Structure 1
Amino acid sequence: MDPALVHRLASGEGWGLLQSLPPYDASEAMSLATRLRGEGFDAELVSAALTQSDLRARAVPKFGAAAREMLFTRDGLEQATRTRIAAHHATRFVEAGVRHVYDLGCGIGADAIALAKAGIALTAVDTDEATAAIAAVNLRHWPRAQVQHTAAHDVAIPSGEDARGCGIWLDPARRTPGVADAQGRTRRLFRLEDISPSWDDVRGYLTRTPAAGAKLSPSFPHAAVPAGVEAQWTSYDGEVLECALWAGATVRTPGRTACVVREHVTALVTERDALGAQPLPAELARLGPYLYEPDRAVIRAGLVGALVNAADGRELSPGVGYVTGLADVQLPWARRYAITDAMPYNLKGLRALLRDRDTGTLTIKKRGVSLDADQLRRQLRLQGDRTTTIVITRVGGAQVVLVVTPL
């Protein structure tokens, strides 16, 4: 979508058309487009409005009811920060005493909106002209938010005494510019050296103002965390969404942390919580009565040791994430199971065990092993009436099966 079409959608006839559309229904989109063109609406405007209607429907899980008043691009929506996570970002800057944030790579404006809501003045920029125009529409309610179409390195950021009260927020592009696929999305980039601004530039920005933050991929490597910086992996309802780097006054706990966000709770895990944790010896006999599965943000941050300490337990094998423990504890960032059976992984033995339990429906959880869960179900040929949950993983170097009951 070009900037001119963004402006047509955001004013007069285009906005009225967009707001009048019924809830998006893919099966009705073609007939609706035909009817609207028959009523005299321009074909290009109709197509753009229906695309926005589709994107607004997809955006509701991230933005809630506010999505119905926003504009999007497909790439921008995919990379946009969820409203609740963006509010956490904004709180960092508020607590740091920041009054003006330079949002370098604002995209459609998700984080900028949260910053504006928090009362912070903004200079938001994006290198793509249409995206910057969309961000301006989405930030139209906040007069202290200015949006510019420019590159990050062309923004004049205060330095020295003038930088007091200023902050920088970066969300580097992680997609290849150019030809999009049939759904309008460009190819995602996964290597740190491929982001734009570059990783070297990001590290430089983290030291240019008294307070700075950068949103990076959940695959961000631990070894790349700069000294004195906080790297926080954040999950939302079990999905790891980002690793955010915080520098200067925005740092709360230097090093690696995990933020687990669920519907009614937000939990924090730090390196201090994980100190002194030890792995389990390779013996099934040493299993405790409980099995714990940490949130993926905790695993990605390398903080499974915090669960080991909290559950008075041991990790089954380095890197698998599962922890067996003696203590029966409820944690907002870990699932808890009772272990009812344990055995070395063996197809014949597992089939016999599950048939003894009259198992017909099998839930298979696995980590640290390579197997096809659907193929395993076919091989087991279960015909019972009960449901059983098993965990296939490693204890030490050996593959094991744990029969568990969720608690």
Structure 2
Amino acid sequence: MTPEEFEGLLTAEGQELLEGLRGHDPVDDLAAATRLRRTHDAPLVAAALSQARLRQRAVAKFGAVDAHRMYFTPHGLEQSTRASVAAHRAARFAADAGSAGERAGVTDLCCGVGGDAIAMLRAGLAVTAVDRDPLTCAVVRANAAALGLADRLEVVCADVRDVGTAGRAGVFVDPARRTARGRVFDPEAYSPPLSWALEAAASGSPGAVKVAPGIPHEAVPEGAEAEWISDGGDVKEAVLWFGGGVRPGARRATLLPSGASLVGRGLPDPQVRPVGRYLYEPDGAVIRAHLVAEVAQELDGGLVDPTIAYVTADGLRATPYATAYEVTDVLPFGLKRLKALVREREIGVLTVKKRGSAVDPDDLRRRVRPKGPHSATVFLTRVCGAPSMLLAHPARGRSQT
């Protein structure tokens, strides 16, 4: 889609087409295209059908209300930040940039379709959104206008490396980590390179760079605070923070939607101990941030194996950072033994979780053939180095200390 074709969607005719396609089933694209081309230009119909498909996909990230008012490009939607994560980051920018005054601003470099810019605008910040693609810039402007946020947005269509960040309290950089050929693994092959993005972010107060959650800890600059963010249990991204109220060298795990945030205290690795009554599965952000020791200390627990991020304890304690299971059986790994146990307990729904095991969960379920009115979870893991099975169910009842 060209910028000119996109502008057609903003006309009264384009808006009418989009409204008519709300709730449209993509399976009917051919029939809809044939019908609509009788009264509308073919390029406009194609643009509207494409936008309708993108809006339906965008619901998962932006929610139905915003998704059906916003505009997207395929690449921009794929790379955009989930609204809940963007809102969390925007709140940090707003809090840390508060000393800059009522009109505190953020320069959003590599803004894409504007997911982060929208969250920052809603947090009360003025935003300068920068992208070198003319179509993307047009989409950002349209999104801000559609959501009633255009009065505090400036869009600059340029290479981010040609745009200064002076005069803005905050700087946010989201370098592209994909090309037409797929994901880019070399940080210096990002667009712009990660080294440039880090330098630009370090000029902000605060400044932040969005990076992949798999970033090695040794690649985090000494002066940065690294934050891993999960949403609904799924790790979404990592952010490297500079300046402002940042804690240099800190490692943080933030869990959404609760907003619970755990900061590392530099604890040594937890002790390995026998499996207790409860098994705790730490959130992925906690694991990525290397904060399992902090969770184990909070739970008065230890590890089932020195290389496995499962915490075990004798007591049940409430924590936002891990999911608790009550263990009923601890057994050496064996398919026949598990099959017999599942049959004996009349387990019809068997959830298979694994860590440190090469067994395929779907294949295991097919071979065990669970049948019955009950449910259970089996953890395939190692206990003190030995392949093991832990049969459990979600812990219920009041916390016990």
TM over 0.5: yes
**In the alignment, which residue of structure 1 is the partner of 2:380?**
392
Measured in 1, the distance between the counterparts of 2:19 and 2:313 equals 55
Q: Tell whether the 8 Å contact from 1:256 to 1:271 is kept in structure 2 after alignment.
A: yes
Match of 1:144 among 152, 157, 160: 152
Partner deviation per Cα, 1:149-197 (whole Å, 9 max, x = no partner):
1111110221xxxx4x5221111111114xxxxxxxx623244333111
Q: Tell whether the 8 Å contact from 1:277 to 1:306 is kept in structure 2 after alignment.
A: no
Name the SS for the 2:210 alignment partner. Answer: strand
The normalised TM-score by structure 2 is 0.91
Measured in 2, the distance between the counterparts of 1:290 and 1:9 equals 56
1:123 corresponds to 2:118: no
1:90 corresponds to 2:90: yes
Moved more, 384-393 or 80-89: 384-393
1:255 corresponds to 2:250: yes
Cα RMSD (Å) of the superposition? Answer: 1.9
Measured in 1, the distance between the counterparts of 2:176 and 2:367 equals 45
Question: After superposition, where does 1:1-400 map in structure 2 within 5 Å?
Answer: 1-38=1-38, 40-64=39-63, 65-97=65-97, 98=100, 99-140=104-145, 141-158=149-166, 163=167, 166-177=169-180, 187-252=182-247, 254-262=249-257, 265-272=258-265, 275-281=267-273, 286-382=274-370, 385-400=373-388
Shift of 1:16: 3.0
Shift of 1:4: 1.3
Number of aligned residue pairs: give it. 386
Moved more, 102-111 or 72-81: 72-81
Moved more, 126-135 or 287-296: 126-135
- Quickly say closer, same or farther: Cα 1:232–1:41, change in 2 above 3 A: same
Moved more, 251-260 or 378-387: 378-387
Measured in 2, the distance between the counterparts of 1:319 and 1:126 equals 43
**In the alignment, which residue of structure 1 is the partner of 2:398?**
none
Measured in 2, the distance between the counterparts of 1:312 and 1:405 equals 20
Q: Tell whether the 8 Å contact from 1:277 to 1:308 is kept in structure 2 after alignment.
A: no
Letter in 2 for 1:375: D
Partner deviation per Cα, 1:371-393 (whole Å, 9 max, x = no partner):
12233234435555543321110
Shift of 1:276: 4.1
- Quickly say closer, same or farther: Cα 1:118–1:349, change in 2 above 3 A: closer
Measured in 2, the distance between the counterparts of 1:209 and 1:335 equals 37
Shift of 1:231: 0.8
Partner deviation per Cα, 1:77-120 (whole Å, 9 max, x = no partner):
12211222212111222212241211110000011111112222
Measured in 2, the distance between the counterparts of 1:8 and 1:109 equals 20
Moved more, 138-147 or 51-60: 138-147
Q: Tell whether the 8 Å contact from 1:345 to 1:401 is kept in structure 2 after alignment.
A: yes
Measured in 2, the distance between the counterparts of 1:15 and 1:202 equals 37
Measured in 1, the distance between the counterparts of 2:369 and 2:89 equals 50
The normalised TM-score by structure 1 is 0.89
Structure 2, unaligned runs of 5 or more = 396-401
1:403 corresponds to 2:391: yes
Measured in 2, the distance between the counterparts of 1:145 and 1:167 equals 14
Moved more, 188-197 or 141-150: 188-197
Partner deviation per Cα, 1:265-289 (whole Å, 9 max, x = no partner):
22111112x62452314xxxx2111
Measured in 2, the distance between the counterparts of 1:144 and 1:359 equals 57
Shift of 1:360: 4.1
Q: Tell whether the 8 Å contact from 1:93 to 1:250 is kept in structure 2 after alignment.
A: no
Partner deviation per Cα, 1:293-324 (whole Å, 9 max, x = no partner):
11111111111112211211112223422111
Letter in 2 for 1:209: G
Name the SS for the 1:336 alignment partner. Answer: strand
Shift of 1:201: 0.4
Letter in 1 for 2:261: L
Measured in 1, the distance between the counterparts of 2:12 and 2:347 equals 62
Q: Tell whether the 8 Å contact from 2:271 to 2:302 is kept in structure 1 after alignment.
A: yes
Partner deviation per Cα, 1:350-383 (whole Å, 9 max, x = no partner):
3333333233442211111101223323443555
Shift of 1:254: 4.1
Residue identity (%): 42
Measured in 2, the distance between the counterparts of 1:327 and 1:152 equals 53
Moved more, 99-108 or 245-254: 245-254
Q: Tell whether the 8 Å contact from 1:225 to 1:255 is kept in structure 2 after alignment.
A: no
Measured in 2, the distance between the counterparts of 1:118 and 1:385 equals 49
Shift of 1:31: 1.5
Measured in 2, the distance between the counterparts of 1:167 and 1:359 equals 54
Name the SS for the 2:280 alignment partner. Answer: strand
Name the SS for the 1:206 alignment partner. Answer: helix
- Quickly say closer, same or farther: Cα 1:257–1:349, change in 2 above 3 A: same
Measured in 2, the distance between the counterparts of 1:194 and 1:305 equals 34
Structure 1, unaligned runs of 5 or more = 178-185
Shift of 1:238: 1.1
